[in-house]
Amino acid sequence: MRLNSSKALLSCALLSGLLLSACSNSDKQQKDTTLTATTPATGEATTIAERNAQQRLIETLHKNFEAAGVHAKILEIKNTELSNLYWVKLDGLEPVYATADGKYIIQGQVIRLGDKELIEISESVKAEDNKALLSKLNTADLIVYPANGPAKHVVYIFTDVSCPYCHKLHQQIAHINSKGIEVRYIASPRADEFKAAMESVWCSKDRRAAFDKAIAGETLAAASCQNPVEAQTELGAQMGIKGTPAIYSSHGEYLGAYMSAEDLVKRLTP
């Protein structure tokens, strides 16, 4: 993600990727052996030597994971713009960076300095992965607030009715739609105790009306049905969601947490 100069002043943004504009997920949702990182890196293996190096790294990492009691299946390895640093995609866990010798992994962001903005080196590849995941969603399973007139942009927002920043963002929904932005909400309860409220929304005959009430603090009658809340929550975990709201463009780029309608337009404008 691109971090502007004001964000650079907040060290916590670099350490956790989460500003004070999102509701954090409960620790109870974290797996004991989860390896966490925010994003993968750019680069493709183009030579036999590189592919062989990646295969050796896979074998070494599997050995070291096993020795540490970490059950992690490696799905993909990609080299980055940094020599001897690879992005490692894991099955059911978030990606990590690994050194070429397989002795060290890095959990978190790797930021490139030197430009006007701080750039996470994995931005483009992570966005590509996110776009593929978001494109598989059935719009009928989401809560959609269409743009006024032709949609100039579509954003996906992981949300939770218990989250104050989600409430604050939703208060601007009409303003956001007036900017030509279609909003597609994805369920992402922060903890198990909030799951029932999200299911009540998704099981309502009029999801939008139910969401409007729930996000404003009204308690809905309990309801159960076949619903996508669990699957959408798992999608958020797969994409590395740490809190709500989490806003993504239709291209899979992470835009940020809570922001004003004007700031959202700026993030969407090249």
| Confidence check: pLDDT of 38 > 60 | no
| Cβ(187)–Cβ(232) below 8 Å | yes
12 is catalytic: no
Considering the candidates 163, 184, 203, 267, report the single residue annotated as catalytic. Answer: 163
160 is catalytic: yes
Mean pLDDT of the chain: 84
| Confidence check: pLDDT of 89 > 90 | no
Average pLDDT of 196-212? 96
Going from N- to C-terminal start, the domains of the chain cover: 2-121, 132-268
203 is catalytic: no
**Residue 128 confidence (pLDDT):** 86
User: What CATH number matches the domain at 2-121, 3.40.1380.10, 3.10.450.70, 3.40.50.2300, 3.40.640.10?
Assistant: 3.10.450.70
| Confidence check: pLDDT of 11 > 90 | no
**Residue 46 confidence (pLDDT):** 60
163 is catalytic: yes
CATH number, domain 132-268: 3.40.30.10
| Confidence check: pLDDT of 34 > 70 | no
| Confidence check: pLDDT of 91 > 50 | yes
**Residue 26 confidence (pLDDT):** 58
pLDDT single digits (tens) 65-80:
999 998 889 988 887 8
- CA 56 centroid distance within chain: 30
pLDDT single digits (tens) 102-157:
999 998 888 888 877 777 887 777 888 899 999 999 999 999 999 999 999 999 99
Distance CA 186, CA 194 (A): 14
pLDDT single digits (tens) 229-266:
999 999 998 888 889 999 999 999 999 999 999 999 99
**Residue 52 confidence (pLDDT):** 87
Considering the candidates 184, 190, 203, 267, report the single residue annotated as catalytic. Answer: 190
Considering the candidates 23, 166, 184, 267, report the single residue annotated as catalytic. Answer: 166
Distance CA 128, CA 123 (A): 9
Considering the candidates 160, 184, 203, 267, report the single residue annotated as catalytic. Answer: 160
Q: What percent of the chain has pLDDT over 90?
A: 57
Distance CA 212, CA 216 (A): 6
Say which residue, 20 or 135, is predicted with more confidence. 135
- CA 29 centroid distance within chain: 15
Q: Please, which pLDDT band fits residue 18 given cuts at 50, 70 and 90?
A: very low
Quote the pTM value.
0.74
**Residue 15 confidence (pLDDT):** 37
